[in-house]
Structures are given as C-alpha cells and as structure tokens.
Amino acid sequence: MPASPSSSAQAARKALADRLQGLRRDAGLTGRELSARCGWHPAKTSRLQEAKAAPSDADIRAWCTACGADDQIPELIAASRAVGTAYAEWKRLQRLGLKRLQESYTEAYTRARLLRFYSSDAVPGMFQSRGYAAAILARFAAAATSPRDLEQAVAQRMHRAELMHEGERRIVCVIEESVLRYRIADASVMAGQLGHLLSVMPLPRVSLGIIPFTAERTLWPVETFAVVDDHIAEIELVTARVRITAASELSEYLQTFSELQAHAVYGSQARALITNAIAALG
C-alpha cells in the first residue's frame, strides 16, 4: 500500500539530495572541493546532501556547474520545484482564501479525463450537497486566517460538482460505508446529502461504489485520496495537502484504488446501503 504522504514528501526531498551527491561523486570531488568551487561553506554542502536544507535554483546551477553537469540543471530545478510544491501547508493555502483553495481543485479537475476518488472519512467534494459542503467548510472558515469567504467557497465547490454533467470525463468514486454514517452535520443535512448521492448515481459517466461494513477485505481502509488522470495523486492531511507525481508512487495509489474497488458494491446494493443510512437518521 502507499507510503504515508508525509514520508513520501520527505522521500522526494531525499531523492533530490541523493542525485546532487551522486553528481559530486561522479565528478570526483570531495565536499570541501565542491564547496570551494561553489563559493559557500562546506556546512551548506552537507545540509544539501543530507536533505536538511532545500536547494535554491541558484544552488542547483552552481552545484551542476562545479560538477561539469550543466545538462542536468533544467531537470534538477524542475524536480526541486516539484518537491517544494508537493507538501503544501493548509495554513499557507488558506491564507489565500477558502474560495481560492476550492478553485485550485476545480482548475485541475476541469482538465482531467478521468477522476478517481476514495474516501474513508467524508463524502468527496464533487459528491457533496450544498448543506454538507457548508458544514465541512465552516470548520475551516472558523479557524482560518484567510478572508471570510465561506459562501463563495461553498459556491465554488458546487460549481466543481457541475463537472459531473459536462464533457466526456469519467468520475469513479469509492467510499467506505462509514462515510454514510458519520454525522458531519445535523440529521436533516445528512438526509439531504445521502439523497444527493442517490440522485447522482444514475449519471452516465459517474460510478459510485460503497465498501460495506461486512465486506471480507484483503485491504483495510486507508487515507482519503484522489487521482487525477494518471498524473497526480492528492492526499489531504490535518496539516497539509500532498500532491504526488512520482510514477512509482502513483502506480501504488492506482493499484490500491483497484483493490478497494473490488471490495465495493454498486447499483441496487449500494442504493440499499444509502437508504439504510437515511432510515437510521430517525
């Protein structure tokens, strides 16, 4: 199964540091010799090689030039920038406003041909009713230092849901049965949300599977994640949003999604789980 998102981000940082160290060794340079050529203290070289500091674009240019590897500069700068954006802290994102945060998802999803969502904790954003979305986003709004734009953020999330009715993209979603039962909001909002799931299930390019409590499993519930086409996996942590683009890790998330799909029920069986959850609201 996939590594934890935080460890994935750290692994990406370490992989970049290892590539820099490999260039130095291939050039036959000691750390002190490279430092002298770059014009900085040897301690900086150590920090970069041990992934204790992130290299700037200028650092990478100087390092590659010192090693006679100028042809590696564009690729390493691109890798460094990818590492820098992979682990985006929520507080920084939220300072831009909840509406802008929602727009960042919409922009990526609009270009996609295939969206895969797995959730073990809440209904994914594209499948949320307005009331349910407002209940979730209100929690972030209460704690955020961002502009007070809750209503605009909810509207943007509802706009994103319209993608289910547009274009030729396919949207495949798998949720745990527990998602139907968690009281994210009051009973009336939850009933509306569950009813909304029933209403989107018949859409021609939408697939909604639910993993029952009673399923015999070879794979237990994992962190909530989304895969955009086959290019990006997104995971939401308490403190950060992680975006994974490394092919090896993406393949693990795709394999995990396929295994979770195999545990899910669809059609009339899925509808029965939803109607049972509605009945349990009382």
Q: Do residues 113 and 35 both lie within one domain?
A: no
How do residues 35-76 score in pLDDT, each as one tens digit? Answer: 999 999 999 999 999 988 889 999 999 999 999 999 999 889
110 plus 59 within the same structural domain: no
Whether the CB-CB separation of 204 and 170 falls below 8 Å is answered with: no
**Are residues 79 and 106 both part of a single domain?**
no
In this predicted structure, the answer to whether residue 90 has a pLDDT above a threshold of 70 is no
Residue 199 maps to a domain = yes
- Compute the average pLDDT of residues 16-26: 95
Please indicate, yes or no, whether residues 70 and 109 belong to a single structural domain of this protein.
no
Mean predicted confidence (pLDDT) in 125-147: 82
Domain count of the chain? Answer: 2
Same domain for 103 and 76: no
The total number of residues written for the chain in this structure: 282
With respect to residue 91, please indicate whether it lies within any of the assigned structural domains: no
Residue 113 lies in a domain: yes
Domain's final residue, options 37, 68, 86: 86
User: What pLDDT digit, counting tens, does each position of 211-220 carry?
Assistant: 999 999 999 9
Residue 28 sits in the same domain as residue 80: yes
Q: Last residue of some domain: 86, 105, 122?
A: 86
Choosing from 55, 86, 117, the residue where a domain stops is 86
Q: What percent of the chain has pLDDT over 90?
A: 62
- CATH at 77: 1.10.260.40
- Residues 120 and 74 placed together within one structural domain of the fold: no
Looking at the fold, whether 54 and 175 belong to one and the same domain comes out as: no
Alpha-carbon distance of 136 to 125, in angstroms, equals 10
Q: Are residues 149 and 45 in the same domain?
A: no
Give a yes or no: residue 112 inside a domain.
yes
- Domain coverage including residue 262: 96-279
Structure tokens at 172: 């495949």
User: Confidence band (pLDDT; 50, 70, 90) for 8?
Assistant: low
Sequence-ordered list of residues with C-beta below 8 angstroms from that of 194, at least 6 positions apart, any chain = 180, 274, 277, 278, 281
Residues 222 and 140 in one domain: yes
Q: Are 125 and 157 in contact (CB under 8 A)?
A: yes
> 222 and 134 share a domain?
yes
Percentage of the chain modeled with pLDDT above 70: 89
